[in-house]
Structure 1
Amino acid sequence: MKVLLLSQHFWPESFRINEVAQSLVEQGCDVTVLTGKPNYPEGLLFPGYRLGGIQRERREGFEIVRVPLLPRGAGGARKLVLNYLSFLLCATVLGPWALRGQRFDVIFVYGTSPILQAIAAIVLKWLKGAALVTWVQDLWPDSLEMTGFVKYPPLLNAVAVVVRWIYRRCDLLLVQSRAFLGPVRAMAGATPVDYHPNPGDRESQAGGISVSTSLQLKPGFKIVFAGNLGTVQALETVLDAAEMLGPDSGVRWVLIGSGARSAWVAEQASRRSLSQIDLPGRFEPAQMPAIFAQADALLVSLIRGPAMSLTIPSKIQAYLAAGRPMLASMDGEGARVVQEAGAGLISPAEDARALADAVLKLQRLGSAERQAMGEAGRRYYAAHFEPALLAQALVAQFKRAAGARV
C-alpha cells in the first residue's frame, strides 16, 4: 500500500509520527512523507536545512519531501501564525509539484494543531484520487479557546465552520482519545470516525533500555516530568506543589524539556528559591528510557478545562512503557487511563495541594508497591499501546478507507 503521510512536523523534530512512519514501513507500506523544514521547538532551522526550495532525503526506508516554511522564531503569536500558514500554503502549492507523477492509495494526515494543514491533503486527495485519513490529535476550535490563543467568539465560530468542512472531506477520521469520538462525530457529518490511540515509544519497547544518558539525577525521591513546558501543562501547579513540600521533604522535581514557558519556570524557581527543582533541558528521545529508569515517579499534568479532560497526552504511553509509578495531575480521559492501568496516583487538575499529598503518599509506599504500579503500567501498555500492534490496526484502517472509495 502506497501511503503519503502529511505532517507539518517530522524528524528530526521529536514527534510520535516519526515512529509511526517507521512502523508502517515495517508493515509493508510504501511511505512518502510531505513535511516542512524542521525548526521546532527552538524556532530556528536545524543544521543542514535551508529556508527556501524543496529538499528530499531518505530515512528508515521512506522518502521525506520538505517544502519551505517560515520558522516560528523565538515566540509570539504573529510568528506562530505565519509559521502555520506558510506550511499550509507551500504544502498546497508546492506539494503537488514535488509529488508529481506519484500515486498513492491513502493520504494520512497527522492532525496536530493546526488542523488547517489538512486542507493541503484535501487538494492532494483530489489530484491523486487517494483516500484521505486524518488522525485528530487536538480538538478545534476547543483547544484554541482553552489555551487563550483565540478568545473572540465569532472567530471561534468561523474556525468551527472550517473544521467541519475539513472533516467532511475526509474518508475516515481517527481520534487519539475515546473521549474525542462524540465531539468529532458531531462535526463530521457522514464521515466515519474511529478510535486509534497514539502508540508508545519504540525506543522504550515496554521498558527496555538500549541507550545510555548523560543525565544523572540528583539523590532524593526523584519525580520526572518530560515534554513540552507550555501553557497547558499546568506548570504553576507543579511549582506550587514543590513549594508546599519544600526541600526538606527529600523530593526532587526534574522538569525535562523546553517550550514557551521554559524561561518563566526558571525565573519562578529562582524567585521562590526552589532549589529542589532541576531544569536540565531537552534530551534525545532515545535517551529518555534511561532517564525514566532513574525516576521514582513520572509526572503528567494538564490545566483544567473541557478540551483538556478529553485529551490523552502522548507522554502517558511513554510513562507506562517505562514501568515506573505515575503521578497524574489532570482530569478526564488521561487520568482514567492511569487509574484503569493501576499505574499510579491521580489528583485533580490544577490542585497543587492534592498533587503534593499524592507525592507524599507515593513516597511513603514501600518499594514493592511502587514496583507493582510500574509493572501494571507495562502490562497495560503492552495490551493497548504497543507500536507494532497499533501499526497493524492502522494499516487495516487504511485498507478500509481505500476500499470504501472503490
Structure 2
Amino acid sequence: MHVLLLTQYYWPETFPITAEVARLRAEGAKVTVLTGKPNYPDGQVFDEYKAWGVQREWHDGVEIFRVPLVPRGQNSGVRLALNYISFVLSAGLLAPLLLRRQRFNTVFVYAPSPILQALPGILIARLKQAKLVLWVQDLWPESLSATGAVTDRRILAVVASVVRYIYRHSDRILVQSRAFRQPVSALANDRSKVHYLPNPTPDLTPPDQVAQDVALLADDIGSGFSIVFAGNLGRAQALDVVMDAARELEDLASLRIFLIGSGSMDTWLHEQIARYQLTNVVLPGRFPADAMPPLLSKAATLLVSLRGDEIFTYTVPSKLQTYLAIGRPIVAVLDGEGAAILTEAGAGFISPTDDPTALASTIRKMYETSEKERADMGAAGRAYFEAEFAPELITKALMQHLLDEPVAQRATTEI
C-alpha cells in the first residue's frame, strides 16, 4: 500500500504524525509526504529551508515534498490567514506536477487546524483515483468562533459550507474525540463513514543523554511539590484561570507551577508574574519533544487546562494522552470528553472550567493526597493509556482505515 500523507505540519516541526508515519512504515506501508516549509511555532521558516520554492528531501526512509507558503509570523491574524491559504494554493497547484509519476492507494490528510488543507487532498485523490481518508483534529467552523479568530456569522457560514464539501468528498473520516462524531456526521451527512480514532502520542522514550538545561530543570521540578503544564501557552489553555489560582496558593511554600512551552500568552504571563510578584509560577520556556519524558516524570502532578467554551467540551487535548502515558496524577481543568476520559481512567482530579478558586481547591486536594494515592492514580492512568491509546493499537486501526477495512480494535470503539 502506497499512502500520500498531506499535512501542513511535519518533521522537523514537532507533531505526533511524524512518529505515526514511522509506525505505519513498520507495518508495511509506503508513505510519501506532501507538506509545507517548517515554521511552527515561531512563525519563521527554519534555518535549513526557504519559504519559496519547492524542496524534495528524505527523512527516515520517507520521501518528502515541500511546497512554498507564507510563514505564519507571530500574533498576526493576517499572516496566519495567508499561511493557511498559501499552503492550500501551493499544494493544489504544485502537487499534480510534483507527484505526476507516483501512484497512491490512499490520500491521507492529517488535519489539525486548518481543515482547509484537505481541499488539495480532494483534487489529488481524484487525479490519482485514490481513496481520501481525513483525520479531523479540530472542529471547524466552531474552533474559529471559540478562539475569537472569526466572529462574523456570514464568514462562519461560508466556512461551514467549505467544511461540508470536504467531509462529503472524503471516503472515510477519522475523529480524534468520540464527541466529534455527532457534529462531523451532521455536516458529512453520512454517519457510517465517521470513525473514532484517538490521536497518536509522540515518542516518549527518554533520550540516552539529557542536555544540561533539561537535567537542571528536571532536578528543579523534582525538588518540591511541582505542578507541570507542558505545551502551547495560548488563549485556549485558560492560563488566566491558572494564574489566578496560583495567587490563591501562595501559602503553600513547597508548591510551584511550571508552565513549560511558549505561545501567544508569553508576554502576558511574564507581566502577571511581575505585577503580582508571584514566586510559585515558573516559565522555563520551550524544550524539545525528547525532553518531555524526563521533565514530566519528575512532576508531583501534571496539569491540563482548557477554557469553558462549548467547542472545548468536544476536544481531547493531546497532552492528556501523553500525561496518562507518563504515569503521573493529573489535575484537569476540563469539561466534556476530556473530563470523561480522566474519570474513566481514575487518574486524577477534575476542576470546573473558568473557576480559579475551584482550581486552587482542587490543587490543594491533590497536595494533601498521600504519595501512595497519587502513585496509584498515575498507575491507573498508565494502564488506561495501554488499553485505549497504546501506539500499536492506534497504528493497526489506522492501517485498516487506510485499507478501507472493518476495524475492531478497542481503541476505535464507536460511542
TM band (smaller chain)? over 0.9
- Alignment match, 1:275: 279
Displacement of 1:107 in angstroms is 0.7
Q: Distance in 1 between matches of 2:158 and 2:272?
A: 37
- Alignment match, 2:310: 306
Could you tell me the TM-score, scaled by structure 1's length?
0.96
- Letter in structure 2 aligned against 1:34: L
Q: Given that residues 247 and 275 in structure 1 are in contact (C-alpha distance below 8 angstroms), is that contact kept between their aligned partners in structure 2?
A: no
Counterpart of 2:195 in 1: which secondary structure?
Answer: strand
1:321 has 2:299 as partner = no
Q: Distance in 2 between matches of 1:151 and 1:241?
A: 30
1:260 has 2:228 as partner = no
Q: Distance in 1 between matches of 2:257 and 2:47?
A: 32
Q: Percent identity?
A: 49
Q: Distance in 2 between matches of 1:247 and 1:257?
A: 26
- Alignment match, 2:45: 45
Displacement of 1:386 in angstroms is 0.9
- Alignment match, 1:232: 236
Displacement of 1:171 in angstroms is 0.3
Q: Distance in 2 between matches of 1:134 and 1:174?
A: 6
Displacement of 1:75 in angstroms is 2.1
Q: Given that residues 224 and 299 in structure 1 are in contact (C-alpha distance below 8 angstroms), is that contact kept between their aligned partners in structure 2?
A: yes
- Alignment match, 2:170: 170
Counterpart of 1:295 in 2: which secondary structure?
Answer: coil
- Alignment match, 1:111: 111
Q: Distance in 1 between matches of 2:368 and 2:252?
A: 15
- Letter in structure 1 aligned against 2:7: S
Q: Given that residues 200 and 381 in structure 1 are in contact (C-alpha distance below 8 angstroms), is that contact kept between their aligned partners in structure 2?
A: no
Displacement of 1:200 in angstroms is 2.3
1:338 has 2:339 as partner = no
Alpha-carbon distance change, 101 to 313 in structure 1, aligned in 2, over 3 angstroms: same
> What is the 5 A alignment of 1:108-147?
108-147=108-147
Displacement of 1:123 in angstroms is 0.8
- Alignment match, 1:241: 245
Could you tell me the TM-score, scaled by structure 2's length?
0.94
Q: Given that residues 17 and 200 in structure 2 are in contact (C-alpha distance below 8 angstroms), is that contact kept between their aligned partners in structure 1?
A: no
Q: Given that residues 201 and 317 in structure 1 are in contact (C-alpha distance below 8 angstroms), is that contact kept between their aligned partners in structure 2?
A: no
- Alignment match, 2:5: 5
Q: Distance in 2 between matches of 1:87 and 1:261?
A: 26
Counterpart of 2:35 in 1: which secondary structure?
Answer: strand
Alpha-carbon distance change, 362 to 211 in structure 1, aligned in 2, over 3 angstroms: farther
Alpha-carbon distance change, 331 to 337 in structure 1, aligned in 2, over 3 angstroms: same
Displacement of 1:248 in angstroms is 3.8
Displacement of 1:201 in angstroms is 2.6
Counterpart of 1:400 in 2: which secondary structure?
Answer: coil
Alpha-carbon distance change, 34 to 189 in structure 1, aligned in 2, over 3 angstroms: same
Displacement of 1:358 in angstroms is 1.0
Q: Distance in 1 between matches of 2:47 and 2:299?
A: 32
- Alignment match, 1:199: 200
- Letter in structure 2 aligned against 1:334: G
Q: Given that residues 131 and 401 in structure 1 are in contact (C-alpha distance below 8 angstroms), is that contact kept between their aligned partners in structure 2?
A: no
Q: Distance in 2 between matches of 1:370 and 1:108?
A: 40
Q: Distance in 2 between matches of 1:352 and 1:61?
A: 48
Q: Given that residues 113 and 138 in structure 1 are in contact (C-alpha distance below 8 angstroms), is that contact kept between their aligned partners in structure 2?
A: yes
How big is each residue's C-alpha offset from its partner over 1:158-198, in whole Å with a ceiling of 9 and x where there is no partner? 11111001100000000000000000000002371000000
- Letter in structure 2 aligned against 1:60: D
Q: Given that residues 203 and 290 in structure 2 are in contact (C-alpha distance below 8 angstroms), is that contact kept between their aligned partners in structure 1?
A: no
Q: Given that residues 54 and 67 in structure 1 are in contact (C-alpha distance below 8 angstroms), is that contact kept between their aligned partners in structure 2?
A: yes
Counterpart of 2:247 in 1: which secondary structure?
Answer: helix
Q: Distance in 2 between matches of 1:287 and 1:313?
A: 19
Q: Distance in 1 between matches of 2:302 and 2:230?
A: 8
Displacement of 1:394 in angstroms is 0.3
- Letter in structure 2 aligned against 1:96: P
Number of residues paired by the alignment? 399
How big is each residue's C-alpha offset from its partner over 1:119-159, in whole Å with a ceiling of 9 and x where there is no partner? 01011011111100000100011111111111111111111
Q: Distance in 2 between matches of 1:401 and 1:54?
A: 35
Q: Distance in 1 between matches of 2:57 and 2:172?
A: 29
Q: Distance in 2 between matches of 1:249 and 1:358?
A: 17
Alpha-carbon distance change, 211 to 350 in structure 1, aligned in 2, over 3 angstroms: farther
Moved more, 84-93 or 193-202: 193-202
Displacement of 1:203 in angstroms is 2.1
Displacement of 1:209 in angstroms is 6.8
Q: Distance in 2 between matches of 1:250 and 1:148?
A: 37
Structure 2 portions without partners, runs of 5+: 407-415
- Letter in structure 1 aligned against 2:200: P
Q: Distance in 2 between matches of 1:249 and 1:178?
A: 40
- Alignment match, 2:151: 151
> What is the 5 A alignment of 1:180-219?
180-190=180-190, 192-204=193-205, 212=210, 213-214=214-215, 215-216=217-218, 217-218=220-221, 219=223
Q: Given the alignment, which residue of 251, 254, 265 partners 2:255?
A: 251
Ranges of 4+ aligned residues in structure 1 off by more than 3 Å: 208-211
Q: Given the alignment, which residue of 213, 222, 227 partners 2:226?
A: 222
Q: Distance in 1 between matches of 2:111 and 2:341?
A: 22
Q: Distance in 2 between matches of 1:209 and 1:54?
A: 33
